[in-house]
Amino acid sequence: MQFGASTFIWVSPFSTASFHLLQKIKTAGYDIIEVAVEDAAIIDWNELISRARDLDLKITISGAFGEDRDISSTDSRIRYQGLRYIANCVTIAAKVGSPVFGGPVYSAVGKTRIVSPEQKKQEREWCINGLKESVKVAADHGVVIGLEPLNRFETDMINTVDQALELVKEVDSPHLQILLDTFHANIEEKNIPAAIRKIGKALLCHIQGNESDRGTPGTGHLDWPGIKEALVEIGYEGAIVLETFGAPSAALAKAACIWRPLANSADELATEGAKFYRKMYS
């Protein structure tokens, strides 16, 4: 099992000026830096690849889906922007050697409303059409798009593993699979190990192993032994990445409802998280 740390733990947005984080991530005991792409233009990707290689760190890519990147939006211009963003991130993932590009690719974080059945159906159709276009790009680049269910306070579209499986089935491509974030699953799933078994090895492409309060793994009430048992049982071969928010931007804080510090410091959270992962999976 390989473990990673998201750039979101320390900074938002991640940029070339943030490259000192690679050494922190390596020193903390991680194998992977997961880059949250808020603005691809402020990252020198060639330098990032070089620095990661020097530190023997792998790179994975995750998305940041604000309201201007919503492929299920009623505004066709926003849907187009969302598709371009996904395609760009898939291209970046291929460039840096990330097997996955993950996130709530179906909508915007913080988009929570009651809408008519007709509008809900239409938004889902736009989403499916967009994902079918996106998986073509992913197939061309040998990348898997990881669709991440979010909790009910952050999206009204895909909250549960069952909903994610249904959407993945409709798109019907090996390049669209499921990213499971245990923080969201703790809210929406009755049993996280059972949800992992339901997804199965064939469709579980990535794990964001986050605690019940988004704090340090092992300090909350998640069933970590059960999660480990389920991952071992299905033969999961992907990564486990810690993704929480130490210094979120104002927009991210609002969308993800981050109102207080989640640990004494980002460095402590990351270091203690790595220790917990290593001990749990030793």
Share of the chain above pLDDT 90, in %: 92
Choose, from 188, 189, 211, 243, the residue flagged as catalytic: 243
Mean pLDDT, residues 116-140? 98
So what's the pLDDT on residue 257?
79
Residue 250: its pLDDT value, please?
Answer: 77
| pLDDT tens by residue, 143-178 | 999 999 999 999 999 999 999 999 999 999 999 999
Cα–Cα distance, 57 to 53 (Å, whole number): 6
The helix, strand and coil proportions of the chain, stated in percent and rounded to the nearest 5, come to 50, 15, 35
Q: Does the structure show a pLDDT above 80 at 210? A: yes
Domain count, the chain: 1
CA contacts within 13 A on the Cβ side of 5 = 33
**Is 211 a residue of the active site?**
no
| pLDDT value of residue 246 | 77
Query: Could you read off the pLDDT of 180-202 as tens digits, one per residue?
Result: 999 999 999 999 999 999 999 99
Res 207 pLDDT > 80: yes
**pLDDT of 67-88, one tens digit each?**
999 999 999 999 999 999 999 9
Q: Which domain holds residue 178?
A: 2-280
CATH number for the domain that contains residue 144: 3.20.20.150
Q: Which of 148, 154, 188, 211 is catalytic?
A: 148
Res 245: pLDDT: 86
- Helical spans, DSSP H, in the chain: 21-28, 45-54, 76-96, 117-141, 161-171, 182-188, 192-199, 224-234, 250-256, 266-280
Which pLDDT score, from 0 to 100, does residue 143 have? 98
Q: Does the pLDDT value for residue 249 go beyond 80?
A: no
Report pLDDT for 97. 98
Residue 125 known to be catalytic:
no
What is the distance between the alpha carbons of residues 217 and 235, in angstroms, rounded to a whole number? 22
DSSP 12: S
Q: Contact at 8 Å (CB) between 227 and 186?
A: no
- Dump pLDDT digits (tens) for 32-77: 999 999 999 999 999 999 999 999 999 999 999 999 999 999 999 9
Give the pLDDT confidence score for residue 18 in this predicted structure: 98
Contact in structure between 273 and 29 (CB atoms under 8 Å): no
